[in-house]
């Protein structure tokens, strides 16, 4: 149409888009993410009281157990449904990271163990690891500088 620019189109089309339920989505993410964290706390307490871990040492098996549970839930298709319901509430904790790695492995398993699973397993995880290492380095330099100056 002559004279119909992108601003007019955007303004006209916005009336036809449904408004996302921001509050409900945030509430679902908060509740599910909080329940995942409560599960982590329960696991941590279990490792402390039943297996004799010290409080500072219970974090490692707790995280490993959460990763295992998330990987199993992904394999059985449960975590994907949880992710569609909760959004970022299931993606942000370490369980979301385990889900992303397991999903990539399952998606490429038909290509074989080495060329399918192994090569595609860390496509997403690689960037997360790189940014995590870089962020840790930058924060370490800032902390070291701060302590040296003050």
pLDDT at 56 over 80: yes
6-28 mean pLDDT: 85
In this prediction the pTM is 0.72
Half-sphere exposure (Cβ direction) of 83: Cα atoms closer than 13 Å: 17
How far is the C-alpha of 138 from the C-alpha of 127, rounded, in Å?
16
Tokens representing residue 56 in the block: 């500072």
Q: Is the confidence at residue 1, as pLDDT, over 60?
A: no
**Band (79; pLDDT cuts 50, 70, 90):** very high
Q: Let me know: does 31 contact 89? Beta carbons within 8 Å.
A: yes
DSSP secondary structure, 60-82, as one string:
HHHHHHHHHHHHHHHHTTHHHHH
* Overall average pLDDT of the 35-62 stretch: 96
């Amino acid at each position: 149409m002559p004279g119909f620019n992108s601003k007019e189109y955007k303004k006209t089309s916005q009336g036809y888009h449904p408004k996302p339920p921001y509050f409900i989505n945030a509430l679902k993410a908060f509740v599910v993410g909080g329940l995942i964290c409560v599960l982590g706390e329960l696991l941590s307490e279990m490792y402390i009281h039943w297996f004799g871990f010290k409080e500072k040492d219970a974090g490692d098996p707790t995280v490993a157990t959460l990763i295992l549970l998330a990987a199993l839930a992904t394999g059985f298709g449960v975590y994907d449904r949880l992710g569609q319901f909760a959004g970022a509430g299931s993606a942000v904790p370490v369980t979301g990271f385990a889900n992303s790695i397991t999903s990539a492995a399952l998606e490429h398993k038909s290509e074989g163990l080495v060329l399918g699973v192994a090569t595609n397993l860390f496509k997403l995880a690689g960037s997360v690891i790189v940014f995590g290492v870089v962020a840790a380095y930058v924060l370490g330099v800032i902390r070291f500088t701060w302590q040296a100056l003050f």
